Structure 1
Amino acid sequence: MEDIATPSINAELMIRYVGRRVRVVCELDNAGDGQTVQGRTSDKGVVQIQRDPRTAPPKTKYVEFIGTVVDPQTIREESNTNWGDNFDMAMHNESVHLMNSKYAWMFQQA
């Protein structure tokens, strides 16, 4: 994979990143059908993740997905990381806001 910046986003920001590679943390609502999974982002938005069959299925309640934004409600997965069953989504949402506004320059590729 390319070594490029992958911004952390929530559902509100997805429209700004259509066609781009991002990372999003979701609280999984359901296991999905194996091809897709539905999750709730840090701002309580609902997104669909189009699963990559080559990746391991999520095993915890909170999962970070890296992938490409297909449309404002859908991400095509490249990879995922289990973040456990206890995670402060409100705090993460504050971080996402800072990373995409006041402190965006700190998280952009040089």
Structure 2
Amino acid sequence: MNQILHAINRYIRLGFDVTVEQDIENVIKGIKGTSVANLNSIQDRGSGNNTLPGNSNWFKWQWPITGEFSRCIKARDIPGIGEWKIFTIAKLDKFRKKDINKPIPQVSTHTTPLSK
């Protein structure tokens, strides 16, 4: 990462601008073993919010992936104190105000390093 920052600073000091993706690619292409790709997330957020009511009151969160509460969200007011509030998939569906779609990013082809 430091090499990339150094390369960008050097590029700018030499009088070049870094304003478009191609400029960043030009800066980085000389760094050994470094490839570059451009990722653009395409998300249609639509209207409406998908939030849990009262979520600002909970300070401890868990998303278990195994056991009895796998595929649930657990929340509670204070870490280590009190009962967990369990949100099952069925409960989460009731709160949903719009469809949740997995974003499909646009990915450019990555560059090939000039030297290994």
Whether these two folds match at TM > 0.5 is no
Higher Cα Rg: structure 1 or 2?
2
With the length of structure 2 as denominator, give the TM-score of the two structures. 0.21
Compare the two structures and name the one with the higher helix fraction. 2
Compare the two structures and name the one with the higher strand fraction. 1
Structure of greater relative contact order (alpha carbons < 8 Å, 6+ residues apart): 2
